[in-house]
Amino acid sequence: MNIHNASLTVSAVRPNQYPTNGLMEFAFAGRSNVGKSSMINKLLNRKSLARVSGTPGKTATINFYNIDDTIYLVDLPGYGYAQRSKQETEKWGKMMEDYLANREPLVQTILLVDSRHKPTKDDIQMAQWIRHYHENLIVIATKMDKLKKREIEPNLERIWETLEMGEDDLLVPFSTQDDEGKCSVWDMIEMMRAGELFPYEGEEE
């Protein structure tokens, strides 16, 4: 995808702050520090549009990135950060569930997991949420460049099995150090926009 303009439209904490122009949205969910912001920067050929923090759990907003006034890439707050208070965790859960359940322009939520580790209970729960709201599961395995060659296949198999992925689900290896996975992610987004992959229920038949 040739990108001419990409910008952060809003960092929202409430539904009344979400964009109202109806553009299709593709959201990314994952544990704190899984690499969502780095991946978004890589997809957009930007170095720092999405703020990358070394502090897990810092992003507590839903960030909407406008891509050429055609779609939004949406960076959801990271989960699983142990130092969040119970009140913060409950607030995060409500914000996430409201967005997943009620956001009409949302086409697909894509789950990011760290390729180096077995998916956690939180990852499994998020996968279940995504299946509930979207039926199909797309998973991006981040930080592939940190794996040794002999680790790649077994680690991807472990992700697939742990998340109980099926034949209609997709697992995409991704690295911010090279272009691995970048074209695959954009191809998926383009196919979903065209209704060729997981038809968008928000479109009129």
Q: Judging by beta carbons within 10 Å of its beta carbon (0-12, 13-18, 19+), is residue 85 exposed, middle or buried?
A: exposed
The beta strands (E) that lie in the chain are given as 6-12, 24-30, 62-67, 71-75, 106-114, 138-142, 170-173
User: pLDDT at position 205, please?
Assistant: 37
Task: State the residue for tokens 């960076």.
Answer: 75
User: pLDDT at position 100, please?
Assistant: 92
Each residue's pLDDT tens digit in the chain (205 positions)? 778 899 999 999 899 999 999 999 999 999 988 999 899 999 998 887 876 655 454 557 899 999 999 999 999 988 876 556 777 777 778 888 899 999 999 999 999 999 999 999 999 999 999 999 998 999 999 999 999 999 999 999 999 999 999 999 999 999 999 889 999 999 999 999 998 876 545 444 3
Q: Where are the domains of the chain?
A: 6-193
Superfamily of domain 6-193: P-loop containing nucleotide triphosphate hydrolases (3.40.50.300)
Burial 10-44 (b: 16+ CB within 10 A, else e): eebeeeeebeeeebbbbbbbbbbbbbbbbbbbbbb
User: pLDDT at position 66, please?
Assistant: 96
User: pLDDT at position 203, please?
Assistant: 44
Instruction: Please answer whether residues 33 and 17 qualify as being in contact, where contact means their C-beta atoms are separated by less than 8 angstroms.
Output: no
**pLDDT per position as a tens digit, 79-130:** 876 556 777 777 778 888 899 999 999 999 999 999 999 999 999 999 999 9
Tokens of 12: 């929202």
